[in-house]
Amino acid sequence: MFIFQICTFAHSHIHKAFAHLHIRTFAHSLPMTYELQHTDGSARAGLITTDHGQIHTPIFMPVGTLGSVKGVHLREIKDDINAEIILGNTYHLYLRPGLDILERAGGLHKFNGFDRPMLTDSGGFQVFSLSGIRKLSEEGCEFRSHIDGSKHFFSPERVMDIERTIGADIMMAFDECPPGTADYAYARKSLDLTHGWMKRCWKRFHETEPKYGYKQALFPIVQGCVYKDLRQESAKFMSDFGAEGYAIGGLAVGEPAEKMYEMIEVVNDILPTDRPRYLMGVGTPVNILEGIERGVDMFDCVMPTRNGRNACLFTAEGIINMRNAKWADCFEPVDPMAHCFADVQYTKAYLHHLFKAKELLAMQIASIHNLSFYLWLVREARKQILANNFGSWKREMVVKLSRKL
């Protein structure tokens, strides 16, 4: 067993390594630890420990953009789906309910009642999605709210302060997410911007303290679009910060899947092996298994709930469209593998009926099922890694997961 514990460098060591960044350093207690428990090829099984609990990796993180996972009660998230960590989003939570409400509540954990680890995205991807109503500069990003058109400004420092107020266990650095089809010149300029913002995020993070009595970690985000040299440069640049973990951003945004897998390999060849790696916004069950095979530890995506609300179920045998007439008289359980109570409580015929009738319960059942399946998938992957059987199991699963039933 290989055990690595995240540790801070001595003040003099960091000062020497980052003298050119003019970064103030601190001897803080550790925000989180990571234990690499086993490897099977490049696939990894590990354990992240935060002040709100432990996270067994590889892990999938349900997306709770506005402080809630759409259509799913907190009790279901904890007791049925058994999510070990969920996401919130800085951009959306900043706009509503707003920082005053969140701070008065005691942070997002107190506001929504989730007492396990949480991670907040910095809002960089959401700002990227607002390309028609934003202006980028070295100072930061000016944008208009998608809600009422009001004008706002995010600087790296402002985003760090917002994430401190939200209070997630893991904070993400502010970055720019270029489209997957960006040309080299744009990707180069975007990467320079992201690197400059990262220096400022790091400085602000270490100038401030958590607000609610528990520690927070900051993950840098590796960018570089689909260009190998830019990805390598960014991975090396971000690794030098000695952060508690690292994210790989700017993938699954329009580039071919093969390019995404190539960039994951390029980046993970450089990122430290004793820190968790988080592939942002990915993806399908097949994408997740391919990421795990290439050394990724953490995943998030809206696909389980978004596709579920549109009658798409993911199963270990393939993909089901519950609106298809073939399910109208199928009285088998939703999923005989019984990843959650909904899988055996209801039949395919009943769920088909609910979708055809446009009942809200249909979207809830499908969302709970899909999230439970995603969590089963990463936990089963972990079991296979610990048993040194991940490669052969993954090859079989990819074939089945890709089928349409």
Percent of the chain with pLDDT over 90: 83
**Listed residue (249, 272, 101) closest to 174, CA to CA:** 249
Q: What is the mean pLDDT of the chain?
A: 91
Amino acid type, 103: E
Q: Which of 167, 63, 163, 164 is nearest to 115 (CA)?
A: 167
d(CA 277, CA 262): 15
Given the residues 169, 300, 335, 343, the one annotated as active site? 300
214 or 130, which is more confident: 214
Pick the closest to residue 249 from 155, 376, 127, 144 (CA basis): 127
Closest CA to 63 of 110, 150, 125: 125
Tell me which of 121, 169, 175, 335 is the catalytic residue: 121
Reported confidence tier of residue 179, pLDDT bands at 50, 70, 90 = confident
What is the pLDDT at residue 126? 73
Annotation says 79 is catalytic:
no
Has residue 124 got a pLDDT over 90? no
**Confidence label for 8 from pLDDT (cuts 50, 70 and 90):** very low
Which is more confident, 255 or 361?
361
Whole-angstrom distance, CA of residue 382 vs CA of residue 393 = 11
In sequence order, the β-bridge partners of residue 269 are none
Rounded distance, CA 272 to CA 395, Å? 27
| Burial of 244 per CB tally in 10 Å (0-12, 13-18, 19+) | buried
Interval 15-23 mean pLDDT: 37
Does the structure show a pLDDT above 50 at 7?
no
| Domain 11-300 architecture | Alpha-Beta Barrel (3.20)
pTM: 0.91
300 is known as an active-site residue: yes
Instruction: Convert 151-185 to b/e letters by CB count within 10 Å (16 or more is b).
Output: eeebbbbbbbbbbbbbbbbbbbbbbbbbbbebeee
In the numeric block, which tokens belong to residue 95?
């706009």
Model confidence at 155, in pLDDT bands (50, 70, 90)? very high
C-beta atoms surrounding 359 within 10 Å: 13
Of 235, 234, 87, residue with least CA distance to 163:
87
pLDDT band at 130 (very low <50, low <70, confident <90, very high): low
Assign 132 a pLDDT band (cuts: 50, 70, 90). low
Kindly give, in sequence order, each residue whose CB lies less than 8 Å from that of residue 17, ignoring residues fewer than 6 positions away: 9, 240, 242
Indicate the range of 27-36, 49-58, 220-229 predicted with least confidence: 27-36
Q: Which ranges in the chain are annotated with CATH 3.20.20.105? A: 11-300
